Chain A
Amino acid sequence: MYQTCRRTRLLLLLCTAAVLTGCVTPVAVRSMSAQLVRTQLAYSLSLRAYFAAVEKFADAQVNIADYRIDEITAQMNREFGKRAGSGLGQAATPEERQRIIDQLVKDVAGNTSADLPLKRKITDAVASLKQRDRELEAAYLVILTASQKLDEYIRLKKADETAILDLTRAVGLNSEKITAIVDEIATISQDLALSMTKTP
Chain B
Amino acid sequence: MMTIDELLTQLSDLSLKLELTPDDATKFDLQILILQLRRQVAAQAFDPLSTLANSSVEVEQLKLLMPQVDQAILTEQNRVMLVARIVSLAKIALRAAGVTVAG
Q: A interface vs B, CB < 8 Å?
A: 4, 7, 58, 61-62, 65, 68-69, 72-73, 75-76, 79, 83, 86, 114-115, 118-119, 121-122, 125-126, 128-129, 132, 135-136, 139-140, 142-143, 145-146, 149-150, 152-153, 156-160, 162-163, 166-167, 169-172
Q: Is the CB of B76 within 8 A of A132?
A: no
**What is the chain B residue whose CB lies nearest that of A73?**
B39
Contacts beyond the supplied A79-B28, A86-B23: 13 A-B pairs with Cβ under 8 Å = A65-B43, A68-B42, A69-B42, A118-B42, A125-B49, A135-B56, A136-B57, A139-B57, A149-B66, A153-B73, A158-B80, A159-B80, A159-B83
Closest CB in chain A relative to B48 CB, distance in Å: 8
Is there contact, CB below 8 Å, between B53 and A132?
A: yes
Select which of A83, A119, A159 is within 8 A of B79 by beta carbon. A159
Residues of B in contact with A (beta carbons under 8 Å apart): 23, 28, 31-32, 35-36, 38-40, 42-43, 45-47, 49-50, 52-53, 55-57, 59, 62-63, 65-66, 69-70, 72-73, 76-77, 79-80, 82-84, 87-88, 91, 99-103
Q: List 30 A-B contacts (CB under 8 A).
A: A61-B45, A62-B46, A65-B42, A69-B39, A69-B43, A72-B38, A72-B39, A76-B32, A76-B36, A83-B28, A118-B40, A122-B46, A126-B49, A128-B49, A128-B53, A132-B52, A132-B53, A135-B56, A136-B57, A146-B62, A152-B73, A153-B69, A153-B72, A156-B76, A157-B80, A158-B79, A159-B76, A159-B80, A162-B80, A166-B103
